[in-house]
């Protein structure tokens, strides 16, 4: 038995006909526009049922201007790597998941002064 490598006849590849390029329809929104819309939606804070109940029980009222400011600051904190934050305002303290853009719970400032907050990796003072 011969252990040498057997040479095979060389057959060059037959060129394959080039396929015609398909044209792409660019009439829809661009990727940048779609991405921008997604980012805008992600900055809106949602309020969990638990937080909504606490806001009502404790008679905490937050006007739209303050909500906008809180949303902006939470978005900034998220950009810096904060996942869960304590947001302190003049009248309330909110625990916010920056990762999910959700207010988890709320308490008034008097109640917050006697609490210990754990699993928070950022604080926002407004």
Q: Are 49 and 60 in contact (CB under 8 A)?
A: no
Domain ranges for the chain: 45-125
Output DSSP code: residue 102.
E
* The CA-based dihedral angle spanning residues 75, 80, 85, 86, taken in that order and rounded to the nearest 10 degrees: -90
**Residue whose token pair is 């709320």:** 106
Residue 73 is predicted with a pLDDT of 92
> How many whole angstroms separate alpha carbon 15 and alpha carbon 8?
21
pLDDT at 35: 66
What pTM does this model have?
Answer: 0.64
- Helix, strand or coil, per DSSP, at residue 2: coil
In this predicted structure, what is the pLDDT of residue 4? 65
> What is the pLDDT tens value at each position of the chain, 126 positions in all?
566 666 666 666 655 555 555 565 666 777 667 666 555 545 688 999 999 999 999 998 888 999 999 999 999 999 899 999 999 998 899 999 988 899 999 998 888 888 888 889 999 998
- CA dist., res. 107 & res. 126, Å (int): 15
Predicted pLDDT of residue 50: 93
């Amino acid at each position: 038995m011969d252990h040498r490598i057997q040479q095979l006849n060389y057959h060059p590849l037959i060129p394959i006909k080039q396929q015609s390029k398909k044209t792409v329809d660019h009439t829809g929104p661009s990727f940048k526009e779609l991405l921008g819309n997604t980012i805008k939606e992600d900055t809106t804070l949602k309020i969990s049922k638990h937080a909504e109940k606490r806001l009502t029980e404790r008679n905490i009222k937050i006007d739209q201007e303050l909500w906008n400011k809180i949303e902006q600051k939470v978005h900034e904190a998220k950009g810096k790597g904060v996942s869960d934050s304590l947001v302190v305002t003049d009248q309330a303290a909110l625990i916010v998941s920056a990762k999910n853009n959700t207010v988890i719970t709320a308490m008034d400032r008097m109640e917050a002064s006697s609490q210990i907050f754990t699993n928070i990796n950022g604080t926002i003072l407004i």
